[in-house]
Amino acid sequence: MGNSTSSSKTPHNKTGSKVVSQKLVNAAKLGVLSLTEHQLKKLPAQVLTLSDLKTLDVSRNALTNGDTSIMGIPEKMLKLKTVNLSDNNLHAGSLPSLSPLTSLQTLNLSVNKLGRQQQIKKGSKKPMAETVSAAVGHILPPLPPSLKSLALSQNSLPSIPPQILQPHLSNLKELDLSQNGITGVLPPALKVLTSLVQANFESNQITGLDAGIFEGGGWSKVKVLNLENNNITSTTNPQTLPSRLFTNTVLHDLKLKNNPMLKRELMEDFEGFDDFLSRRGEVKSKDLSGGAMANLSLCGLD
């Protein structure tokens, strides 16, 4: 699970109505539709006729809140397993409830503006300005319990949307909230993500993790945790990285590069860290025996 990076939307492939029409014909047969880099401001209405579609990729376009076709996806395309809407111009409140998509496993919404809302001048359809969304509860729509991978990198999110902190998302394995505006301590409500394996919180303003995250089996399956480029220190009262992170999980890849912390402090000040080192050593040994190159730095702090 990597970061999405915004880039030029100049198309590198063939575009135009004829190309789209042919892709729609092919998609009806194959169940896969990719309209990435087509300079689309709206989802073609014909897409909603593809009721058997399993993969929809409309990344790197210019889709906006004014696209009413997007609202029809949960009603018309119930077999979708993968949806990629990354790198568009979607703001807070632009997406319909995705709960009806009970087969959806992968959702990529990175590189949008879901943490911001557009102010529309009365009597006009054109937005005046963007502001940070005060209605955090409306940043995301309700999500289906089938979801296994969710990417929300680069969305100006001021905090973790409550739609992620729901017990029914117990199947979620990958979560990417990197490069947002999340501040403070990660909340105990994250414990509901009991199947989480990889979590990416790189480049926020996070100061630590609440020990409650690891209660009741929370995060017990986490193997990879990226906390690079945050504000985590070696403060031990309370411990900014709780001992349960090291003792109650299967964590073996912890990334802490560019935090105000020293390698020595990590080794000496954090209770339970020895458990992590032992587990990490076992994984590295297996990698070496399999011919892989070992990363010998300590959580990026070397």
pLDDT tens digits, one per residue of 175-222: 999 999 999 999 999 999 999 999 999 999 999 999 999 999 999 999
Q: Residue 294's pLDDT is what?
A: 44
Q: Is the pLDDT of residue 62 over 70?
A: yes
Q: Can you read off the two tokens belonging to residue 202?
A: 């790189």
Task: Please give the DSSP secondary-structure letter assigned to residue 292.
Answer: P
pTM score, whole prediction:
0.89
Compare 283 and 279 and report the one with higher pLDDT. Answer: 279
Q: Which of 102-106, 176-180, 195-199, 285-289 has the lowest mean pLDDT?
A: 285-289
Q: Is the pLDDT of residue 154 over 70?
A: yes
Q: Residue 7's pLDDT is what?
A: 47
Strand, coil or helix: 280: helix
The answer to whether the CB of 191 falls within 8 A of the CB of 212 is: yes
In what helix (H) or strand (E) does residue 281 lie, and over which residues does it extend? Answer: helix 273-289
The confidence band for 153, taking pLDDT boundaries of 50, 70 and 90, is: very high
